[in-house]
Copies of this chain bind each other. A is one copy, B any other.
Amino acid sequence: MKIDGTPFRAIWVDETDGWAVRIIDQTKLPWALDIPRLTSMEAMAHAIKAMLVRGAPLIGASAAYGVALAMRTDSSDSNLSHAIVTLGATRPTAINLRWALARMEAHLRPLGGNARTVAAYAEAAAICDDDVATNAAIGRHGLPLIEARATNGRRVNILTHCNAGWIATVDWGTALAPIYMAFDKGIDVHVWVEETRPRNQGASLTAWELGKHGVPHTVIADNAGGHLMQRGDVDLVIVGTDRVTRSGDVANKIGTYLKALAARDNGVPFWVALPSSTIDWTISDGLSDIPIEERAQSEVTTMTGRAMDGSIATIRIVPKDSPAANPAFDVTPARLVSGLITERGLCSANEAALAEMFHETA
């Protein structure tokens, strides 16, 4: 999508040398647009682990380019294995990471030498192009959900949590793809952006990318979403996901479950947008089978932002002797999900519907 009028993707090969990988450092957003040039598998693994890149689809694409960078240095079988293991260990929850690495390994393992390196770059590029096409299809399939509520030029209010926008993917985003399509089509959309504590991906990333593309939006505390639904100010909830089970349970950023409960209680449709690569066909019960990443206490006890002098500052917001807990995801049971927006169309969140729509992988 656009940044101040210029089209961007979230990851690409450096045009000047044709092999280094460029990403947007999302830890610097919204305060600076910093575009590091990554030249090694280790740098990419760090970028994923330290969340310079984040969002399930972008993590997958980044890991693929991480393999390509590794092959350029050493295209041996052992280094391929080393890259797969190293990149696979960067984040525990995102299924796309494992999916992309498996795709790279299956494609590269039969090849050798320079052919393997060339194929690695080509396959990573294909993963990116596929992601863009997939997300555009998600946008097209989700668009009617918004259009149906825009009768007589009425403003459509959509609530989203965390960041499932174009910078969480290669382009378009998942949850935000239908919103960008609606906006580009001239529909009057307005997005309630939940700040998404503790890392504030909503306030810092979603608000930034919507603002840069020109989409009307309002930032709210995560606590406010239920109240807005109670008073009728939310027409539709659309969120992304990090992993969906074969039965339609949805793992997403911590707090998503609470909004699904509020949506159900107020008759607000609760939709989850995802590429089918996010579906983990090996598990069924999300609550018992999805490991939940416990992240550092410091994400809860401190906050980073722009100080009044313009510098980036980190402040402590919890008394120094108080411990904190930081589960990063929660699971929304399928029973609370109105439906899934996939690249093949809208799908009910249950095993039968998923198995029918994705019969060849189910």
Contact = CB atoms under 8 A, between A and B. Distances in A.
Contacts of A204: 317-319
Contacts of A228: 325, 327
A251 to B, nearest CB: 10
A326 interface: yes
A304 interface: yes
A314 interface: yes
Interface stretch (A46-54, A171-179, A237-245, A257-265): A257-265
Interface in A267-325: 287, 292, 300-308, 313-319, 321-325
A207 B322 contact: yes
B317 A307 contact: no
Contacts of A225: 258
Contact of A221 (B30, B254, B292): B254
B219 A197 contact: no
B327 A217 contact: no
Nearest to A230: B287
Interface in A187-201: 192-193, 195-198, 200
Contact of A324 (B220, B227, B314, B317): B220
Interface in A308-349: 308, 313-319, 321-327, 329-331
Interface in A126-169: none
A221 B305 contact: no
A262 B224 CA distance: 15
B219 A222 contact: no
Interface in A43-81: none
A192 B259 CA distance: 20
A24 to B, nearest CB: 15
Oligomer copy total:
2
A218 interface: yes
A192 B218 CA distance: 29
A224 B322 CA distance: 17
A207 to B, nearest CB: 4
A62 B203 CA distance: 36
Contacts of A306: 315-316
Contacts of A330: 223-224, 226-227, 230
Nearest to A330: B227
A183 interface: no
A331 B230 contact: yes
A19 interface: no
Contacts of A257: 226-227, 230, 262
Nearest to A253: B223
A316 B304 CA distance: 8
A353 to B, nearest CB: 23
A262 B253 CA distance: 16
Interface of A: 30, 192-193, 195-198, 200, 203-204, 207-208, 210-211, 217-228, 230-231, 253-255, 257-259, 261-262, 265, 287, 292, 300-308, 313-319, 321-327, 329-331
Given A224-B326, A230-B257, A306-B315, 16 more contacts: A197-B222, A207-B319, A218-B325, A219-B322, A221-B254, A221-B255, A224-B255, A224-B325, A226-B261, A227-B329, A227-B330, A230-B331, A258-B259, A303-B315, A305-B315, A308-B314
9 tightest A-B CB contacts, nearest first: A223-B255, A305-B315, A227-B330, A305-B317, A261-B261, A207-B322, A30-B319, A197-B221, A258-B258
